[in-house]
Every structure is written in structure tokens, then in C-alpha cells.
Amino acid sequence: MPSNLPTYTNQVEIGEDYKVSFCLDFFNKRLRVDDYLGNVDAICKRITEIAIANALTKVFIKSREDDWQTFLSKGCMLEGIYKGYFNGRDAYCMALYDDLERRTSDYWMEEDHILKQVLALSLKPDRPLVPEQCSLRIARMEDAERLSVLYDQIFQTYPTPMNDPLYVEKTMQEGTIYYLVESPHQLISAASAEINTVYANAEMTDCATLPAYRNQGLMKLLMHALEDELIVRNITCAYSLSRALSFGMNAVFFQMGYRYYGRLTKNCDIYDKFEDMNLWAKILK
């Protein structure tokens, strides 16, 4: 990524017969369409032009149910379904690629094998106990520095600049909630819910646990806490994109009652490469 470009920029474009809200995500070389109104043909043509002009190799659109087949007819492919995304109505993840390497998954069969192992597990919806001498709480603004240090320790690369405390603060100001588990000496695990109040959905994301504390149920504990918070806030749909190569995170979501709804090819730069992401979603009661 050229150093003079921002990591990402959110924009709204209004044409003669459409309005489209999108993110130019330079770090992940993708254009993400989060919302739109109007002529789907015009939108599809325009976002393709914008992606090419910005050297972005993937476009993905959260399409409404009425429009996904029109996007399909324009050459898009269906990669997954966000169940209940639009106030209970499904969103269809439609993708376009401008690069063969970006379109081609390097680990698809291995990811299928991991998914089969995950889907064979028993459901474990029960809430784990908070480990002895540890505490669970919602994060405050003054935790941004410690959160950024945790993310920097865990991820070699990450789709968003979570190793920057100012960015973490900004997400909090914009409504993202974080829960964390800490020992008397350090922050050991954290996760967040990025809330969309307009459509009553939230992305469960930014999951990180120090290696020494893994396999103790901490992520399930954090997910339960986040879900409780979302239900209080009248959020009805929770979803997550998990690295398709990660047995652990996919297992967490499956065992908590999330369902698998597709795999997004080379969707983001995480750890050290572009990786396929499994889409999990759950309707919150």
C-alpha cells in the first residue's frame, strides 16, 4: 500500500438514480459496499469503475434479498449470506474480482476439512466461568492503549489498525463495544461487537487471547457478555468472519449456536497473507 494512502476511507456517492455508501479499503485492496439505494445496474457499473481506478482487486456488496440475482446477472458471485442483517432481512454477500490470484483460494480443501471437523462438534451454549483471579468487564476509553498492545502481540498483520490506540479509541467513540478478561497483572483476552444501529446488527470481531491462556473458554465467555449487551441494545443479528484456517475461532461460533453461511475468498489481509473468511451468523433472541 502506498504510504500516502489512508488505511481506508468511507464515502457516499449520489448519482442520478442511485445512492451508494462504500469503503475504499486500501490495506485489504478491496471495495466494500455497505449500503445502497436505487438502480442496481448503475451501482454495479459505478463501483466496478471506482475499484479499478483505486487498484482494488476485490469488490463485495451486502445486497438486499430483492437485488442479489440482479448482481449475479452482472457477473457477481454469491459468497455468503448475512442472516437477518437488514433488521431481520437477509443480506447477500456478492463479490467481484479483478485479479486471478485474488480470486483463487490456496487452502480451500484444507478449510473444508477444518469446517467438517467444526460442524461435527457438540453445541456448548453454556457460559464458562471466569477463571480464578481474573475479571471480566466492558472496556473503557482508557483501555485503548492496553487493547492495542494485545492486538499487536497476537497479529502479524490485521485487516484494521488495531495496534494503534487512537484507532481503538475512534472505534469506541463510533459505538463499538469491547469486553475484556484481565488477570491482576495483564490484559489476557478481548473481543468486540461493531454495532450497526440502523439495521440492528453487530459484527463480532477483534478476538484475541494471549497464547498462554488459550483453550480456557475465554472467547466464549467474552461472546456471551457481548451478546447480552447487544440484546439489551435491541440488536437482533450477530455475525462474524472467522479465518477459515482457524479451527478454534470457528469452533467457538459453531458451539455458541452460530450457523455457517459461506466463505469469502481472500477477503482480508490477516496474520501475513490474504485469507479466506468463514461467515457465521446468529439471530439473537
DSSP designation for 148: H
Instruction: pLDDT tens for the chain, 285 residues: list them.
Output: 444 557 889 999 999 999 999 999 999 999 999 999 999 999 999 999 999 999 999 999 999 999 999 999 999 999 999 999 999 999 999 999 999 999 999 999 999 999 999 999 999 999 999 999 999 999 999 999 999 999 999 987 888 889 999 999 999 999 999 999 999 999 999 999 999 999 999 999 999 999 999 999 999 999 999 999 999 999 999 999 999 999 999 999 999 999 999 999 999 998 789 999 999 999 998
| Spatial distance between the Cα atoms of 136 and 125, rounded to a whole number of angstroms | 18
Quickly tell me which residue has 433488521 as its cell: 87
Cell numbers found for residue 253? 461460533
How is the chain split into domains, by residue range? 8-103, 108-283
**Sequence-separated (6 or more) residues with CB below 8 Å from residue 3:** none
* The CATH classification of domain 108-283, taken from the options 3.30.1360.120, 3.40.30.10, 3.40.50.720, 3.40.630.30: 3.40.630.30
Q: Is 275 helix (H, G, I), strand (E, B) or coil?
A: strand
Q: Is 136 helix (H, G, I), strand (E, B) or coil?
A: strand
What phi and psi values does residue 151 have, to the nearest 5 degrees? -65, -35
8-103: CATH class? alpha beta
Fold match, 8-103 / 108-283? yes
